[in-house]
Structure 1
Amino acid sequence: MRELARLKIVLKKSTTITDFIDLLTPEMYGHLVSAAKIISGYNPETKTFRASSLALHIGSTLKFVCDIAKKTIITRNPLFLHLKTETKQKIDVLQDIITNHWCNDLSNLANKCLNEKKWKKLKLLPLTADINTFNNYVASLADTAYEKLQNGEEIENNYKILAECVLTTVLVFNRKRVGEIQFLEIQAYERDFENINQEETLNSLTELEKTMSATFKRVVVFGKDEKEDTVVVARQLSKIMRVKKRKRTCIENYIEVVERYNLQDFRCHFRLTKTTFKIVLIK
């Protein structure tokens, strides 16, 4: 919506349109291309884009808008009863033009610029010593928070620290993005298949794979795109998972009381915990 709003603001400076549906005509195609270049920061001298990804998918957005406009006309939406059948035909023609010519006029060059930027961008890899230092620091934080939770000290704050440590540990070890692992549910982690008799599979494993199977646990999660993703979790985290599960009820009851009595000072803290660190709070 923000992309379309920016597009409309630019077009209102060069045309006499009042509604966005006025743009969905074949005659406006040239204006749409020019406006897309402006909002994506196109430089005609260097033939580069400041926001190449925006120039890439603005064409798909316009085709989607055409589909919505045709649906409203066909279903006789009360807001668009004044539109005639010829309007739908013009939208069809514009959609065909975008499908056939947008790539030549904009997308190909934007894709070239995007790939060049990726190629020129340096990839900085951390040193092994730095990773070990970071892992040791996270482990010490987790151990301290774990002991305090066991003793019932500062349950809310230590639970949050423990959640951050678990999320960070799994994130670094699996080298994945936050969105791919933050939806790890406790039920998925607790599901155990060790007692299933799979001798053929076990015999086919190498000694290294057998050692890894004994040290790590394979968990399947559904990422933000609802696709299956495999996450490997160290079995040392099992004791942390157990204490988090026991303290969960205390945390959630506290959140319920905070929201019920509208305590503004505490709500932001727990809203952050409840949404960001889904790895331990999803049921």
Structure 2
Amino acid sequence: MYCQGMYIRKELWRHVRRCPCKPENMDLEKPPGRTKVLGLALANESAFCQQISSGVWKLINTMKQDDVASVVRNDLSIIQLAQSLYNRHGQDPTKYEYMRQKLRELGRLLLCLQTQFSIRNLEEAVKPANFQRLVQAVKIVSGFDEEKLSYQTPSLALKLGHSLHKICDIIHCRALTSDNAELIKSTETFQKLYSSKWSEMVSHSALNTLSHAKYNKPSTLPFTEDVQILHQHLKKSGENAFCNLEDNATPQTYAELAKVTLAQVIVFNRRRAGEVSKMHLRGFMERDSTKLHEDVAMGLSKVEQKLCSYFSRVEIIGKRGRKVAILLTPNVVDALTLLASKRDECNVCPANVFLFARPKSLSHYRGRG
């Protein structure tokens, strides 16, 4: 990648660590592993390497390096969609996984188009003549059942529809800038086909599948006894995980305490799992720990005053960018403080901004399986 030398695939990652042509600032970073090195090497070979920002390449290189990633990396339309998503969400690390999922969804679709319909890229796929083949490919990827007229993964069919509409817009803009009259006419015709036929051929069945699944889903209400059992289980698991991490700081013991503590915070606050799991380390460390002001305390009862002094309050970003308050018990604060202090020992990347960070990763633990 740096010296342009020829090396065996299995030995390339070893050479990268000691390559004399490696940039000086690379020495300050953590040495890349085998998977990341292969991703960087493949990205360097891509025909579109110079057309996208380094942030987008980092996003693509952290994907699992398989056939889907190879397809994503070598399709100009998907690359430009990645750049568009990065321009909008690049400043928010919580959206990186969402962006990778969008790219992989299109990669799986294009892989199906290549293997079953001999369509090489998405620019060719959105030609009006290939509209029926594109619909068939979406149905195959989403697991459409011709007899039941239902999808195995209806949400994927809907997501692919939105992504293809965006891809068509990107290709249309590219045609306008290059003054390609034939491509302009082709994308305009596809957009008309999409607006008139896509709902009938794809979206309607997908929405029906989703609505039937929700209608037939039994509603479960937890009994008081169930809540008590869950609370006791989380409390006991949290105490054991705390002791294990305190005695032996490893990525495994760190993960155990992080998962239990995350579950405790979600259950206690009854908040969306996604909101709590994306809590930033900085937000917790800079939480308001000042005592209750006397003027405010005068308007509160003794019980309310006790509660104010007992709980810690952390503000996070909720739905639609709204400010949401999270209450933490003293035991949870102790657990989170221990997690924050053991990050270096447990191989948590310094660049990982999340409180419930995964070791050796820039992502976070999710509040649901």
TM-score if structure 2 supplies the norm length? 0.55
Task: Please say if residues 66 and 91 of structure 1, whose CA atoms lie closer than 8 Å, have aligned partners that are also in contact.
Answer: yes
Of residues 52-61 and 154-163 in structure 1, the stretch that sits farther from structure 2 once superposed is 154-163
**Which residue of 63, 69, 75 corresponds with 2:171?**
69
| Cα offsets for 1:219-263 (capped at 9, x unmatched) | 222369866444232244334344445x33xx415639xxxxxxx
Amino acid aligned to 1:153: D
| Cα offsets for 1:174-217 (capped at 9, x unmatched) | 334543212323442342175575957984x7888666545444
Does structure 1 residue 59 correspond to structure 2 residue 161? yes
Distance 1:29 1:193 in 2: 60
Structure 2 partner of 1:142: 238
Structure 1 partner of 2:329: 234
Distance 2:258 2:301 in 1: 34
Give the Å deviation of 1:128: 2.9
Give the Å deviation of 1:63: 0.9
Give the Å deviation of 1:173: 1.8
**Which residue of 357, 360, 365 corresponds with 1:271?**
360
- Partner of 1:71, secondary structure, is helix
Distance 1:201 1:99 in 2: 60
Amino acid aligned to 2:270: R
RMSD: 4.0
Of residues 62-71 and 127-136 in structure 1, the stretch that sits farther from structure 2 once superposed is 127-136
Structure 1 partner of 2:145: 43
- Partner of 1:271, secondary structure, is coil
- Partner of 1:92, secondary structure, is helix
Does structure 1 residue 34 correspond to structure 2 residue 126? no
The change in CA–CA distance for 1:201 and 1:124 in structure 2 (over 3 A counts) is same
Give the Å deviation of 1:66: 0.9
Q: How does 1:40-189 map to 2 (within 5 A)?
A: 40-76=142-178, 84-144=180-240, 146=242, 153-156=247-250, 159-189=254-284
Does structure 1 residue 219 correspond to structure 2 residue 314? yes
Task: Please say if residues 287 and 313 of structure 2, whose CA atoms lie closer than 8 Å, have aligned partners that are also in contact.
Answer: no
Structure 2 partner of 1:4: 106
Distance 1:215 1:143 in 2: 19
Distance 1:14 1:155 in 2: 50
How many correspondences in the alignment? 255
Amino acid aligned to 2:161: G
The change in CA–CA distance for 1:175 and 1:94 in structure 2 (over 3 A counts) is same
Amino acid aligned to 2:347: I
Q: Which runs of 5+ in 2 are unaligned?
A: 1-102, 349-357
Q: Which runs of 5+ in 1 are unaligned?
A: 77-82, 257-268
Structure exhibiting the larger radius of gyration computed from Cα positions = 1
| Cα offsets for 1:76-113 (capped at 9, x unmatched) | 4xxxxxx9321122112212321343223321231122
Give the Å deviation of 1:65: 1.1
Distance 1:75 1:133 in 2: 63
Amino acid aligned to 2:200: N
The change in CA–CA distance for 1:202 and 1:95 in structure 2 (over 3 A counts) is farther
**Which residue of 249, 255, 273 corresponds with 2:347?**
255
Give the Å deviation of 1:8: 4.0
The change in CA–CA distance for 1:22 and 1:125 in structure 2 (over 3 A counts) is same
Task: Please say if residues 266 and 273 of structure 2, whose CA atoms lie closer than 8 Å, have aligned partners that are also in contact.
Answer: yes
Distance 2:346 2:135 in 1: 54
Amino acid aligned to 1:121: K
Task: Please say if residues 138 and 157 of structure 2, whose CA atoms lie closer than 8 Å, have aligned partners that are also in contact.
Answer: yes
Structure 2 partner of 1:262: none
Distance 2:303 2:202 in 1: 51
Normalized per residue, which structure has more helix? 1
Task: Please say if residues 184 and 278 of structure 1, whose CA atoms lie closer than 8 Å, have aligned partners that are also in contact.
Answer: no
- Percent identity among equivalent residues? 24
Distance 1:209 1:196 in 2: 11
The change in CA–CA distance for 1:29 and 1:228 in structure 2 (over 3 A counts) is farther
The change in CA–CA distance for 1:208 and 1:75 in structure 2 (over 3 A counts) is farther
